[in-house]
Amino acid sequence: MRSHLRLTQIAILFALFALTPLRWTCAESDDATTARTANVREIIEHLASEDFAGRRGVDARRAAEYLAAEFEKLDLKPVFDNESYLQPVPGPPGEQNESTIAGWNVTGRYTHPEARFPEEYVIIAAHHDHLGRTASDIYFGADDNASGVAMVLEAARLITSSDNVINRSILFVSFDLEEHLLFGSRWWTAHAPVTLEQVKFIIVADMLGRSLGDLPLETVFLFGAEHGAGVRESIRKIDFGPAAKPTLLSDDFVGLRSDYGPFRDREIPFLFASTGQSRDYHTPQDTADKIDFKQVAEITTGLTELLVDVANRSEPPRWILDPPVEMGEVKAIEEICEQIRRKAEAWNLTPVQRFFVDQASTHARKILRQKEITPADQAWLTRTTQLLLFSVF
């Protein structure tokens, strides 16, 4: 009996072990609310391919047409004249003073048939243009910003393939000419397909596939949530996955960085999502083979969940003009500095970078100990965050 029993136990154990690794290996669930790594990979590799030659001018237009075709496949509704997804952005007059077109914004609309507030809109957006090519190089722009465009397309797939009721209409937008002083989003807000009063919230993503200075920070920076009542609380309820823990920071800390600017200027609640500038930022080395596709997928799932959460609120987020800086932001700066200090050796940080990180960490700890943020501290936080995120690395 016993030997027979032991055999059965072994068989059961074996079956268990046989099963467990399999389930773990395919960790990415296939439900309708989870972005697929394979999808974002396909989109990024396509847009950051030689074929699109860095997506500037006519090549940016081809990227816009690719997006319009994908929007049509997802049955999003066109919103511009002549039933078009494309909005021409005028350029300077030509030699004969003829009108010219500098770029093409792309927009598609989704309204659930049972939406309670179909005339109110939330937007999810990115920019599809980049720096183009030179005689010798192509600026592929895999992270900047094929990764953001992949997020918008995959979010559209998730939302249009779900049966869940969504109470406000959603606009999926890709701007052109972001690399030209945000001219595409400035034109879009000045010639919007709906009145801006109807726009209640916008998420803009720019660079989701790498990390700040290529440091293994496992975080996605989320700026500007402080200007929308309740948006931070919504973010804290969402699991962005192990690769992209949200770091909430005030947008004042980064100044104007991407296409959320024209919406912020009109006091429309917004969120700017970015994993930070890699060391290949704005170089021909920003290629698809360096993208963390799983990270992009995880962030896409989180941002889509946030967009739907805001779309289903009874009241849309109210604009907060002068939100206080939260201690959580100081904590975030301190944590980032700590992660960088731990990796200083491995990442060959220069003496200046080490000194800067040490200073930032010490000051952040001082603020955390005093449990209050003075105006001088706030000024320091602004300077430090800008340096940390956009120049030291």
CA-CA-CA-CA torsion sign (305, 307, 311, 313): positive
Q: Would you say 112 or 127 has its CB closer to Zn ion? A: 127
> Which residues of the shown chain bind Zn ion in the complex (CB under 5 A)?
144-145, 206
Least distance to Zn ion, CB of residue 74, Å: 24
Tokens 């200027």 — which residue?
Answer: 265
CA distance 166 to 148: 23
Select 144 or 251, whichever has its Cβ closest to Zn ion. 144
Q: Name the DSSP class of 174.
A: E
Question: How many residues does this entry show for the chain?
Answer: 393
Cα 160 to Cα 83, 174, 238, distances in angstroms: 19, 17, 20
Nearest-approach distance from CB 208 to Zn ion, in angstroms = 11
Measured CA to CA, the distance from residue 286 to residue 351 in angstroms comes to: 26
Q: Least CB distance from residue 86 to Zn ion, whole Å?
A: 20
Q: Considering the complex, state which of residue 37 and residue 145 has its C-beta at the smaller distance from Zn ion.
A: 145
| C-beta of 282 vs 341, nearer to Zn ion | 282
Q: Which is nearer to Zn ion, 145 or 301 (CB)?
A: 145
Q: Minimum distance from CB of 314 to Zn ion (Å)?
A: 34
Which of these, 156, 144, 143, lies nearest to 106 by C-alpha position? 156
Positions of E strands within the chain: 77-78, 86-90, 101-110, 117-127, 168-175, 199-205, 219-223, 245-249, 270-274
- Residue 144: which residues within 8 A CB-CB, separation 6 or more? 130, 206, 207, 281, 282, 286
CB of 151 to Zn ion, least distance (A): 13
Angle between helix 37-47 and helix 147-160 axes, rounded to 10 deg? 140
Shortest Cβ 207–Zn ion spacing (Å): 6
CB 324 within 8 A of CB 374: no
Q: Cα(172)–Cα(153) distance, rounded to whole angstroms?
A: 8
Nearer to Zn ion, 220 or 373 (CB): 220
Q: Considering beta carbons, is residue 207 or 364 the nearer one to Zn ion?
A: 207
Identity of the residue, 303 or 364, whose beta carbon is nearer to Zn ion in the bound complex: 303
- Specify whether the CB–CB gap between 180 and 246 falls below 8 A: no
Contacts of 169 (CB under 8 A, 6+ apart): 109, 110, 111, 115, 118, 119, 120, 121, 122
Can you tell me the distance from the alpha carbon of 88 to that of 102, in angstroms, rounded to the nearest whole number?
8
Rounded least distance, CB 141 to Zn ion, Å: 8
Q: Taking Cα atoms as reference points, which of 276, 274, 273, 272 lies closest to residue 214?
A: 276
Spatial separation of the C-alpha atoms in residues 384 and 280, rounded to whole Å: 22
Of 39 and 274, the one with the shorter C-beta distance to Zn ion is: 274
> At its nearest, how many Å lie between Zn ion and the CB of residue 59?
16
CA–CA dist 7, 140 (Å, integer): 58
User: Could you tell me the smallest distance in angstroms from the CB atom of residue 273 to Zn ion?
Assistant: 12
Q: Name the minimum Å distance from CB 258 to Zn ion.
A: 6
Nearer to Zn ion, 121 or 139 (CB): 139
